[in-house]
Amino acid sequence: MTLRIGVIGTGAIGEDHIRRITNTLSGAKIVAVTDVNVEQAKAVIKNQKLDAKLYESGHGLIQAKEVDVILVTSWGPTHEEFVLAAIAAGKPVFCEKPLATTAEGCARIVESEVKHGKRLVQVGFMRRYDKGYYALKDVVTAGKIGEPLIVHCAHRNPVVGDNYTTDMAITDTMIHEIDVLRWLLDDDYVSVQVVYPRKTQKASSHLRDPQIILIETAKGIRVDVEVFVNCQFGYDIQCEVVGETGIARLPEPANVLMRSEAKRSVEILTDWKKRFIESYDIELQGFIDAVNQGQPNGPSAWDGYAAAVTADACVKAQQTGEIVPVTMKQRPAFYNK
């Protein structure tokens, strides 16, 4: 069956997901779009050559009879109301991260989905679908480096806009590490701390950049994550797991090694869209196939909640300079799979 998808938010990732669903993936088509910026939505319909109806609001689109499935790619603070409305309408919903901007918001979604009685929600944590992270998880799970003890990560963006704030280093950027490391290590977090190194002159005056986030897991693993969103040189994602008998490192993207002008060099990507392009394809194809077979099976509303609880603790740690505990509710049996 061809799923009929309605998209809320036709910005950077909304348009990119529309492109991949229309041109690259199978089993779904875009039948409806909406954006608070109507001109933006019209331009996407035109550029992507869509045969799709333009809706005035996300709520109208969710209720539309011709829409089977909702894709939420609007700004983070709008996600909760659209996901709750999709659940109320009994429609599967793929929501880009964050599921909601607070843990309370995510908890409301979890509660509503559990009450519905069947999974409807998938969160856009695409790194779980990345070949590199997948291979790293294989090595760690197989015990090839013994038990993991320490994880060193870096999440570097070349530049960010002036509207990017200090807390977004957690809620928008490090949220990917928060999710993927929980999955990679099969562990939960117990406490977090944030320390600020010397500030780069390249960041806007209101932004603390770079930042180092220190995390302790339930198994006692220590994680450090450097978030540096004005690093200038490229989009650079690093992850190294130190184990009892060895070290395992996330593979670099496969780029050509050049010898030219007395240099040996490899290009570094600059655009997040390209760094995880295959992962987005795999995650969305997985979502479409799973919905066609009954219900989504990728990162769940509970994963969205766990990430938000951790993010809230990190933001508090940013503001207080203290070690902040990460305290989660009991996981409903509904999510034990």
Tell me which residues touch ligand NAI (CB under 6 A).
8-14, 34-37, 40, 58, 73-76, 78, 96-97, 124, 126, 172, 272
Looking at 68-117, which runs of residues are DSSP E strands? 69-72, 93-95
Question: What does the alpha-carbon distance between residue 313 and residue 223 come to, in Å, rounded to a whole number?
Answer: 15
Q: Is 297 in the site for ligand NAD (CB under 6 A)?
A: yes
Nearest to 301 by CA among 52, 119, 175: 119
Q: Name the segment binding ligand NAD (CB under 6 A); options: 15-23, 83-91, 100-108, 297-305.
A: 297-305
Q: Is 331 in the site for ligand NAD (CB under 6 A)?
A: no
Considering CB distances under 5 to 8 angstroms, the limit depending on partner class, which of ligand NAI, ligand ISE, ligand NAD, none binds residue 37?
ligand NAI
Question: What does the alpha-carbon distance between residue 153 and residue 58 come to, in Å, rounded to a whole number?
Answer: 36
Q: Is 335 in the site for ligand NAD (CB under 6 A)?
A: no
Identify whether 197 is preceded by a cis peptide bond (ω within 30 of 0): no
Q: Name the segment binding ligand NAD (CB under 6 A); options: 70-78, 123-131, 266-274, 315-323.
A: 123-131
Q: Is 183 in the site for ligand NAD (CB under 6 A)?
A: yes
Question: What does the alpha-carbon distance between residue 237 and residue 207 come to, in Å, rounded to a whole number?
Answer: 21
Nearest approach in angstroms of CB 9 to ligand NAI is 3
Nearest approach in angstroms of CB 137 to ligand NAD is 8
Among positions 8, 28, 239, 282, the unique one binding ligand NAD when judged by CB under 6 A: 282
Closer CB to ligand NAD, 84 or 126, in the complex: 126
Question: What does the alpha-carbon distance between residue 288 and residue 291 come to, in Å, rounded to a whole number?
Answer: 5
Count of CB atoms within 10 A of residue 15's CB?
A: 21
Residues in contact with ligand ISE by CB under 6 A are 157, 172-173, 176, 229, 272
Which residues are paired to 257 by β-bridges? 266
Q: Is 234 in the site for ligand NAD (CB under 6 A)?
A: no
Nearest approach in angstroms of CB 118 to ligand ISE is 28
Q: Is 27 in the site for ligand NAD (CB under 6 A)?
A: no
Question: What does the alpha-carbon distance between residue 125 and residue 176 come to, in Å, rounded to a whole number?
Answer: 7
Q: Is 275 in the site for ligand NAD (CB under 6 A)?
A: no
Considering CB distances under 5 to 8 angstroms, the limit depending on partner class, which of ligand NAI, ligand ISE, ligand NAD, none binds residue 11?
ligand NAI
Q: Which residue is nearest to ligand ISE (CB)?
A: 173
Nearest approach in angstroms of CB 41 to ligand NAI is 8
Count of CB atoms within 10 A of residue 331's CB?
A: 13
Helices in 24-73 by DSSP H: which ranges?
38-47, 58-63
What the block records as the tokens of 58 is 């996300």
Cβ-contact 93, 121 below 8 angstroms: yes
- The alpha carbon torsion through 266, 272, 274, 280 (nearest 10 deg) reads 140
- Backbone φ, ψ for residue 216 (5° rounding): -115, 135
Count of CB atoms within 10 A of residue 19's CB?
A: 16
Considering CB distances under 5 to 8 angstroms, the limit depending on partner class, which of ligand ISE, ligand NAI, ligand NAD, none binds residue 173?
ligand ISE
Closer CB to ligand NAI, 134 or 272, in the complex: 272
- Residues of this chain that interact with ligand NAD (CB under 6 A) are 128-131, 134, 183, 282, 286, 290, 297-299
